[in-house]
Amino acid sequence: MELPYVETYKPGPEGEGPLANIDEWTAKNLETNTMPGYAGSSWYFLRYMDPDNQKEFCDRKASDYWGQVDLYIGGTEHAVGHLLYSRMWTKALYDLGYIGHDEPYKRLVNQGMIQGSSRFVYRVQIKSAMAPDHVSKYSKEVFVSKDIINKTIGDFKWDNNFYLINAEKRDKLYSTIKKQVVDFPEFDNDEPLQSLSIQELHVDVNIVDGVELDIDKFREWRSGEHANAEFVLEDDKYICGTEVEKMSKSKFNTVNPDDLVWDYGSDTFRMYEMFLGPVEMSKPWDTKGIEGVHRFLKKLWRLFFKEPNSPSFGGGKGEAVWTDEPPSEAELKALHKTIKQIEEVTERFSFNTGVSGFMIAVNELTDLKCHKKAILEKLVILLSPYAPHIAEELWSKLGNSGSVLDQGYPVYDPKYLVESSKEYPISINGKMRTTIDIALGIPEKEVEKIVLENEVVKKWLEGKQPRKIIYKEGKMVNVVV
């Protein structure tokens, strides 16, 4: 049966589907609830295989050719809402002979959530003995730094974001507050101080540098709600409390990606997200850590160009230092080791390890003073899935035509990964005194000669002849005097 024309898609009188608003439909006692969105969205991938087919959702030849979806990436919240429906539809269509596979996806990866790293401030509240339920009408808010709370009160548990302090700790904290807040209420015998409590409040993470609160911005925050606040500081700093929670506007721990892209660039933002931890794990966002990835990309740029004048290091304003000279064995070894590692970790979706691998590679090439195009352009191709914008820019700056994304993935050569020497720890009477780089596979007598000619070893021998030299190939050398 063909569905009728619907003027508006508002719910029906009792919350039913829009069809409940159409008299000609309800008069025939026809069903008003259509299939849920989950049903249609759980087998749409089959339609993508044959989108122009006007006779059926997908020709069997097309579904046999394309087969299963190679990879499904989604959060665990989709386990019922999508995955369960998807498997049900696929198995039903398979049983009916419309498709040739009974599982929709070859591989599933559930990514973890990016959590918020919340920040807290601590507001003092006073109650009097004369009116225990009455909070003091002191006109100013007083916020105590977390490190002062730790010193005066120690560890404690919150009860609905409040902590009621016992008499001994109360007096200690009160005395500390009085030293910095000169007009803090005095309590005489007619109205003695009965209780002091602390209220824990979320504060916007964007006005906190690490754990240090920007007091001026806090006073302006939320239309000046805390404009008259007083602060009890430690070493002229207000230290906030921290906790990893779900990222939420109500907890003021959200971060605007647009601001980060503006400050650091989209490649830095993209790589830092990968660097936070394994893709399957939930991990807290900490804007403070993004600086490390930004420094890495600047260091990468310096392999190609001198430090540019502009803070926007991606502009290519620095003088080129890359050359067409042939690479050395050490440079080829660093490159091919990186190719092998990045290929393996990317296949495993271990992107955080991949970012670490790039950092190690850039450090090694920097130490080698490598500016060779033959090395750098391979590194840029490797980097392109992780940092596509800077990779595209550097590919062009190297004088290449076309896009870096169209280049073939580099293939590592195992011959460059074979170790030809080892940094041996050299011990004198069981205590390590130095290290010596010794070629692998050379005769033991030659190893002994190299060790005894070393200046550090000579110093510790003090002119004495060793009783014996213990040589463990590939491990260590111990000289016994």
Instruction: Locate 434 and state its tokens.
Output: 């130095």
The answer to the question of residue 5 being in a domain is no
Q: State residue 250's pLDDT score.
A: 92
Same domain as 154, residue 59: no
- Please report which helix (H) or strand (E) contains residue 125, including its range: strand 114-128
Residues 6+ away with beta carbon under 8 Å from 347: none
Max Cα–Cα distance, the chain, nearest Å: 112
**Strand-strand pairing, 468-472 and 476-480:** antiparallel
Least-confidence region, from 65-79, 108-122, 304-318, 447-461: 304-318
Instruction: Locate 447 and state its tokens.
Output: 């190893």
Provide the number of structural domains found in the chain. Answer: 4
What 54-63 contacts at long range (C-beta under 8 Å, 24+ apart), as own/partner pairs, is: 56/98, 57/98, 58/98, 58/99, 60/98, 60/99, 60/100, 63/98, 63/99, 63/100, 63/101
Instruction: Locate 3 and state its tokens.
Output: 């569905």
Structural domain harbouring 192: 115-251
**Strand-strand pairing, 108-110 and 431-439:** unpaired
Higher pLDDT, 212 or 307: 212
Per-residue pLDDT reduced to its tens digit, 101-150: 999 999 988 888 889 999 999 998 776 544 445 555 556 789 999 999 88
Q: State residue 319's pLDDT score.
A: 86
Same domain as 383, residue 337: yes
Which of 110, 140, 160 delimits the end of a domain? 110
Q: State residue 410's pLDDT score.
A: 95
The answer to the question of residue 146 being in a domain is yes
Mean pLDDT, range 432-460, rounded to an integer: 90
Which of 394, 415, 436 delimits the end of a domain? 415
190 pLDDT band (50/70/90 cuts)? very low
The answer to the question of residue 16 being in a domain is no
Q: State residue 336's pLDDT score.
A: 96
Same domain as 70, residue 122: no
- Does position 6 have pLDDT exceeding 60, yes or no? yes
Mean pLDDT, range 233-262, rounded to an integer: 92
Same domain as 470, residue 443: yes
CA distance 180 to 148: 12
164 pLDDT band (50/70/90 cuts)? low
Q: State residue 274's pLDDT score.
A: 95
Per-residue pLDDT reduced to its tens digit, 362-397: 999 999 999 999 999 999 999 999 999 999 999 999
Same domain as 125, residue 101: no
Per-residue pLDDT reduced to its tens digit, 275-289: 999 999 988 888 888
Mean pLDDT, range 47-63, rounded to an integer: 95
The answer to the question of residue 278 being in a domain is no
As a whole number of Å, the CA-based R_g of the chain is: 34
Prediction pTM value: 0.71
317 pLDDT band (50/70/90 cuts)? low
- Does position 323 have pLDDT exceeding 90, yes or no? yes
Mean pLDDT, range 262-279, rounded to an integer: 95
Same domain as 162, residue 214: yes
Same domain as 151, residue 226: yes
Mean pLDDT, range 308-332, rounded to an integer: 74
Same domain as 95, residue 120: no
Same domain as 434, residue 410: no
Per-residue pLDDT reduced to its tens digit, 191-200: 445 567 788 9
Residue 426, domain CATH: 3.10.20.590
355 pLDDT band (50/70/90 cuts)? very high
The answer to the question of residue 152 being in a domain is yes
Per-residue pLDDT reduced to its tens digit, 389-420: 999 999 999 999 999 999 999 999 999 888 77
Percent of residues, the chain, with pLDDT higher than 90: 58
36 pLDDT band (50/70/90 cuts)? low
Q: State residue 308's pLDDT score.
A: 58
Mean pLDDT of the chain: 87
Same domain as 460, residue 445: yes
C-beta neighbour count of 348 within 10 angstroms:
11
159 pLDDT band (50/70/90 cuts)? low
The answer to the question of residue 15 being in a domain is no
Same domain as 218, residue 170: yes
The answer to the question of residue 265 being in a domain is no
- Please report which helix (H) or strand (E) contains residue 218, including its range: helix 215-224
CA distance 430 to 477: 10
- Does position 165 have pLDDT exceeding 90, yes or no? no
Per-residue pLDDT reduced to its tens digit, 57-115: 999 999 999 999 999 988 777 777 788 889 999 999 999 999 999 999 999 888 888 89
Q: State residue 207's pLDDT score.
A: 94
Percent of residues, the chain, with pLDDT higher than 70: 89
C-beta neighbour count of 119 within 10 angstroms:
26
Same domain as 462, residue 411: no
The answer to the question of residue 267 being in a domain is no
Mean pLDDT, range 39-59, rounded to an integer: 90
Q: Using an 8 Å Cβ cutoff, are 269 and 257 in contact?
A: yes
Which of 415, 434, 467 delimits the end of a domain? 415
Instruction: Locate 334 and state its tokens.
Output: 């660093």
Residue 357, domain CATH: 1.10.730.10
